[in-house]
Amino acid sequence: MPLLHFNVFEWAVDVFKRTKNLDDKNQIIEAVSTTKLDDTVCGPIDFTAEVGSTRLRPVPNVVRTPIAAGQWGKSTNPKWKYDLFLLSNVNWPMIPVTGKMIPLSWSST
């Protein structure tokens, strides 16, 4: 899913905005450790949560983001041609399923 990598940039921008001196690695580390983003493309990023308190914060210095299976399909919105539909939320039931798997068709030439 191509959007998965986007949340790394959302996180980095937030960290750099809160760092007064980008040449000071300790300030960057401090900004990372106080990160609390509630709404990214892949869900929350919260380094302030107690370690082990949720599946998203299993060990120190780690925050997991929920991942769901998706598939691109024709959009019902006239603004764009395609939408990403979420098809499976087996491990993360808080993510709403928005479509059903459609088999890919291959044409031979």
Identify the CA nearest to 12 among candidates 55, 45, 43: 45
What are phi and psi for residue 42, nearest 5 degrees?
-115, 15
pLDDT (0 to 100) of residue 91? 80
pLDDT (0 to 100) of residue 33? 93
- Let me know: does 29 contact 60? Beta carbons within 8 Å: no
pLDDT (0 to 100) of residue 4? 65
Per residue of the chain (109 residues), what is the pLDDT tens digit?
Answer: 555 677 889 999 999 999 999 999 999 999 999 999 988 877 788 999 999 887 888 998 888 887 778 888 889 889 999 888 888 888 878 778 888 888 877 655 4
> First CA to last CA across the chain, in angstroms?
28
pLDDT (0 to 100) of residue 60? 87
Answering whether pTM is above 0.75, one says no
pLDDT (0 to 100) of residue 22? 96
Inter-helix orientation angle 25-33/6-18, to 10°: 120
Q: Which pair of tokens denotes residue 50?
A: 């107690």
